[in-house]
């Protein structure tokens, strides 16, 4: 069936009718929505929306993450032929997943961006869909957290990163990708005692009470121990998962603005994300993919895989809710 479909499928991002199903068009051709999902601004009947935030004007070093959403979408075209390995179900077939496109904003009006992105994500949630964002620099997570916290209350943050992003900054109008966790805590968006940061390997004396599993602890203690610790900290609280691609070692993801050696391997990230199945994930993002610094495309490929794992985490719980509703009904 797949071979027959491949003969006539093209531009499924705009020609598909409905939101479910695998896609078989050539990976190297056609319109590159994320995972060949339908591009739409109408979220009626959509379970989960993927959206881009092509913003990188908050970086401290190398820019370029504004091109991250486009690169991750292109890289994702390798994945929609089959169910994701190791999960035991097929989210693209079981759920209505759409590409909601990118947030529209005036690149020259930087101060207006946070409220614009927050409203964009809040609109997705108000329509009854879940939201997974592709950045953009890590500042983009703060407006997304605001939108999710408005709906769910204070969140547990599960942050994969080389940096804690807890540098002090009490000017809430400043836009800085290195201070978003500090501000999220100060604003009451996340509960630091029930949040956790994984892969950290840069010094910042004030962690603001957020438990840390640094990169060395993952290397020496193993992924299973790291996941057990994450589950112990977060419990069943509503959680937001943010994955800064610089959590990965530059050997695996050189295309990022602030690369740091000694990071996670892709297999470690994959193992931890998959073993987190069942956490109460309400939203998430992958950020800081800067494709210009990676001639191989490996960073965007990693970003696309992370986003797929986030989809699986979100859909895992949605499957359980459906099953429970079916039993109770």
For 136-189, how does the pLDDT look when each residue is reduced to its tens digit (9 = 90+)? 999 999 999 999 999 999 999 999 999 999 999 999 999 999 999 999 999 999
Q: In the sheet that 156-160 helps form, which strands lie side by side, from edge to edge?
A: 97-102, 48-53, 130-135, 281-287, 239-244, 156-160, 196-198, 212-213
Average pLDDT over residues 41-65: 97
Among 191, 193, 200, 241, residue whose Cα is nearest residue 219: 200
- Tens of pLDDT, residue by residue over 78-91, are 999 999 999 999 99
Level-2 CATH architecture, domain 2-328: 3-Layer(aba) Sandwich (3.40)
Mean pLDDT, residues 208-216 taken together: 97
Instruction: State the average pLDDT over residues 197-217.
Output: 96
Task: Tell me the average pLDDT of the chain.
Answer: 95
Residue 1 has pLDDT above 70, yes or no: no
In the chain, where the domains are located: 2-328
pLDDT exceeds 60 at position 308: yes
The pairing of strands 48-53 and 130-135 is parallel
Closest CA relative to residue 11, chosen from 102, 99, 103, 130: 99
User: Which residues in 164-319 belong to E strands, given as ranges?
Assistant: 196-198, 212-213, 239-244, 281-287
| Distance in Å from the first CA to the final CA of the chain | 35
Rounded mean pLDDT, 3-10 = 73
- Supply 15's token pair: 């020609």
pLDDT more than 70, % of the chain? 97
pLDDT of residue 150: 98
What is the Cα gyration radius of the chain?
A: 18
């Amino acid at each position: 069936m797949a071979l027959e479909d491949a003969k006539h499928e093209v531009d499924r991002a705009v020609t598909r009718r409905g939101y479910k199903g695998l896609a078989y068009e050539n990976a190297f051709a056609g319109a590159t929505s994320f995972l060949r999902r339908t591009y739409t601004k109408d979220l009626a009947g959509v379970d989960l929306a993927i959206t881009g935030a092509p913003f990188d004007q908050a970086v401290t070093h190398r820019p370029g993450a504004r091109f991250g959403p486009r690169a991750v979408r292109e890289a994702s075209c390798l994945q929609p032929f089959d169910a994701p390995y190791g999960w035991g179900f097929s989210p693209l077939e079981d759920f209505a997943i759409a590409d909601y496109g990118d947030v529209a904003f005036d690149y020259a009006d930087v101060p207006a961006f946070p409220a614009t992105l927050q409203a964009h994500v809040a609109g997705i949630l108000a329509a009854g869909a879940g939201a997974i964002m592709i950045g953009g620099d890590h500042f983009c997570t703060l407006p997304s957290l605001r939108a999710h916290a408005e709906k769910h209350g204070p969140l547990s943050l599960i942050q994969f990163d080389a940096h804690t992003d807890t540098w002090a900054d009490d000017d809430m109008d400043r836009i800085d990708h290195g201070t978003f966790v500090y501000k999220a805590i100060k604003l009451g968006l996340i509960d630091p005692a029930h949040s956790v940061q994984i892969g950290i390997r840069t010094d910042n004396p004030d962690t603001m009470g957020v438990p840390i599993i640094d990169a060395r602890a993952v290397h020496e203690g193993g992924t299973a121990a790291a996941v057990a610790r994450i589950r112990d900290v977060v419990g069943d609280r509503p959680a937001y998962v943010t994955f800064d691609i610089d959590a990965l070692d530059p050997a695996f993801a050189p295309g990022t603005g602030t690369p740091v050696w000694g990071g996670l391997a892709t297999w470690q990230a994959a193992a931890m994300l998959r073993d987190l199945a069942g956490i109460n994930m309400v939203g998430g993002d992958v950020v800081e993919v800067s494709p210009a610094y990676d001639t191989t495309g490996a960073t965007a490929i990693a970003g696309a895989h992370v986003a797929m794992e986030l989809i699986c985490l979100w859909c895992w719980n949605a499957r359980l809710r459906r099953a429970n509703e079916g039993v109770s009904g």
